[in-house]
Structure 1
Amino acid sequence: MDTTELKQRLIDEVESRKDELLELCSSLIKIPSENPPGDSTEISQFIADYLGKFDISVEWHESADKMYNLISTVGNSNEGKNLIFCGHTDVVPAGDRSKWDFDPFSGEIKDGWMLGRGASDMKAGLSGLIFATTILKRLNIELPGSLSLVIVPDEETGGEFGVPWLLEKGLVKGDGCLIAEPSSPRNPTIGQKGSYWFELEVFGEPGHGSLSPLAGQNAISDMVKALLEVQKLWDLTIEIPESVKPLIEVTHRYMREVETERLKYIDVFEKITVNIGTIEGGTKSNVIPESCKVQVDCRLPFGITQEEVTAILTDKLDQLGIRYELRRFGFRSQANYTDANDPVCKAIVDNITFVTDEEAYGVMQWASSDAKHFREYDIPVLQYGPAYLPTIHGYNERVKTEQIITCAKVYIAAVIDFLYSK
């Protein structure tokens, strides 16, 4: 089998049908699938109907009320390897519509841009995965293995009812996975920092405000002391393991040469980031507050565990002599990555170069994603998808239509390389 010739044939097919691909993407954006509330009924039915036009069957798995996971498989599932294409249908809320320059659910194409909520995160990538899968089916391509299209409804709020739910129930298995999350055009993300979210509540003793600080115990004042210690997590020097230093170094190169406008963030990969996201406390200005609560988002580099961060925090807070409770919630993971030489990474990176004739290489991401769940189940994974990164989760979200088409070409070519590789 001449795989290069087959890949080129499939790439040409995507090019000839690119208007259909963009129409699919536009249709997905037009369906509001904000999470919260997380109702994926309409968009899931649309996708299932679309796949059904090409005789691709769909398994429905409802993980929570109106949250539907869809699984479709093409190729030979009885032998060979299985590649997973994974994408999520949910998007973050559009927010204040008056701050958008266009209808966030228009799915309009203007001046070479696809417009709307989810254009970058991640309906453009999702449409590419779906479209590539249908092309393989439409052309009756005989694959020496199988491709599983896994579409989940819950990623933007932590993903409890999406990827981890499917993996835990054994509904998804594979030898490699591509998630079409937004990325740089030539630089897929092959590693992510860890996540450490916690709620800190400090307790005081109420009293009349006119007697403070002589009376009572002011929980807000004690919280100020506590937050000074929390923020010092950034100052810790973390010993990065030798095994991941090459990944950190190539990511530094990426920031110096590609994402130069974000060069000021280059230290983020070796530090614990600290974001105090919410704070509440007290009842009235003339009442000494008996409680103050904050929620904090920390991202952890390689070289430190969640348990070690907990130990550091509790040691520092105990020394303050305050009464407090530390509660974990939300995203939880250690820093994680897939080796750049793994077949699934090579399949994507090599085909970015094959399609674009430009150098490509994998880098680290300073945030977290569903990728960690696949790695927990020993499924190598990376992320690559069309995006205009400055607009993700913001107003006027958009992506270049050219990127949508390029990514779809990479996806379909990568299937061939991955399934035919030993």
Structure 2
Amino acid sequence: MSKSITVRSKQDLLRLIESEQDAQLEFLQSLIRTPSPNPPGDTRDAIKIVQDYLHDHGVDSRIIAPLPKAPNLVSVIGQNSSPLTHRRLVLNGHMDCFPVADADQWRRDPYSGDIEDGLIHGRGVVDMKAGTAASIIAFTYLHRFQSQLAGQCVLEVVSDEETGGKYGTRYLLEEDEGKEMWRGDCVLNAEPGGLGSIRFAEKGTLRMTFVVETLGGHGAYLHRDEGAIRIATRLIERLIGLETLRGEDIDQELKQYMAREDVRAVANNIMGEGAAASMLKPTVNIGTISGGAKVNMIPS
């Protein structure tokens, strides 16, 4: 249950949070132990855990679910008036995560939530149940003394992030009848990157599916049809060649900033060598490829 607290200083608040760390870790473990891979993107059980956690801390929330299996949870605290009257901070995080394609290669259950040597293990910990849990926990502390808030704070625990966000954040901001409520003056999203990585912008994405079709046939007749896979190989090479493109409309000040050696060093240090070189150019990932029926047949 939510407790009435008096916080006289930042140190008081930090001590309070530290004293309740075990309960916070248990909450995170419960999220990790509740699979929510996308695809298929069913986050109902995980969202229910969040809803119950908020309820136990005296926080009201509601569900917005344009796609029933992928609900979004939202809550607002602070000054009770028009969203346009007060400054608003939005805490946004997603509950879906990558699927487990190679469970037999894991040293432990992919959804174990085990803690060992100061690390917590499980699919979705990094991207991004730990970050989302941190936002939820912070929201409950803000709720305890919301009367002291000068504005409003909005919590958005969304689904469908791993496949584009059509039924998640994008829906809240563009389609929901209360969309003005879900926008803010500032948005904090605890996606992975480390404490030293605060990102102010990201490149957009374009997702495409190519289907290559040929006649196919027996492998002895390659002189009649080279097959879909060989054609697809050339297509992939040309797609990767797009990485040589350079944006002509990138702000000149941004270009100069990204050219600084100290900035590039930070990017490489946080995300691995080579990250800086990718910041102002397109990158191409060939995510999946499938085709062919038999080793001695020309794939159609």
TM-score higher than 0.5: yes
Corresponding residue of 1:255? 267
Code of the residue aligned with 1:66 in structure 2: it is K
1:285-312 CA distances to partner (integer Å, 9 max, x unpaired)?
A: 66655x4xxxxxxxxxxxxxxxxxxxxx
C-alpha contact 1:205 1:217 (8 A) present in aligned 2 = no
Matches within 5 A, 1:211-226: 211-213=221-223, 215=224, 218-226=227-235
Distance 1:76 1:182 in 2: 31
Change (3 A) 1:280 1:140: closer
**1:150 alignment partner, one of 129, 132, 156:** 156
Corresponding residue of 1:49? 52
Deviates more, 1:278-287 or 1:155-164: 278-287
**2:185 alignment partner, one of 175, 181, 193:** 175
Change (3 A) 1:242 1:135: same
Query: Is the partner of 1:127 in helix, strand or coil?
Result: helix
1:352-372 CA distances to partner (integer Å, 9 max, x unpaired)?
A: xxxxxxxxxxxxxxxxxxxxx
Corresponding residue of 1:109? 115
Matches within 5 A, 1:16-415: 16-78=19-81, 79-168=85-174, 169=176, 170-171=178-179, 172-206=182-216, 209-213=219-223, 215=224, 218-239=227-248, 240-246=250-256, 248-249=258-259, 251-256=263-268, 258-259=269-270, 262-283=272-293, 289=299, 291=300
CA shift, 1:157, in A, is 2.3
Structure with greater strand percent: 1
The structure 1 segments of at least 4 consecutive aligned residues displaced by more than 6 Å after TM superposition are none
Query: Is the partner of 2:210 in helix, strand or coil?
Result: strand
1:82-107 CA distances to partner (integer Å, 9 max, x unpaired)?
A: 11101111122233333222222222
C-alpha contact 1:252 1:266 (8 A) present in aligned 2 = yes
C-alpha contact 1:57 1:72 (8 A) present in aligned 2 = yes
Change (3 A) 1:216 1:95: closer
Change (3 A) 1:178 1:77: farther
Query: Is the partner of 2:274 in helix, strand or coil?
Result: helix
Query: Is the partner of 2:46 in helix, strand or coil?
Result: helix
Corresponding residue of 2:4? none
CA shift, 1:177, in A, is 0.8
C-alpha contact 2:37 2:100 (8 A) present in aligned 1 = yes
Distance 2:254 2:68 in 1: 40
Q: How many equivalent residue pairs?
A: 284
C-alpha contact 2:265 2:276 (8 A) present in aligned 1 = no
CA shift, 1:217, in A, is 6.7
Corresponding residue of 1:327? none
Unaligned runs of 5+ in 1: 292-422
CA shift, 1:146, in A, is 0.7
CA shift, 1:166, in A, is 1.0
Unaligned runs of 5+ in 2: 1-6
C-alpha contact 1:234 1:271 (8 A) present in aligned 2 = yes
Task: Among all aligned residue pairs of Structure 1 and Structure 2, give the percentage whose two residues are the same amino acid.
Answer: 36
Code of the residue aligned with 1:121 in structure 2: it is D
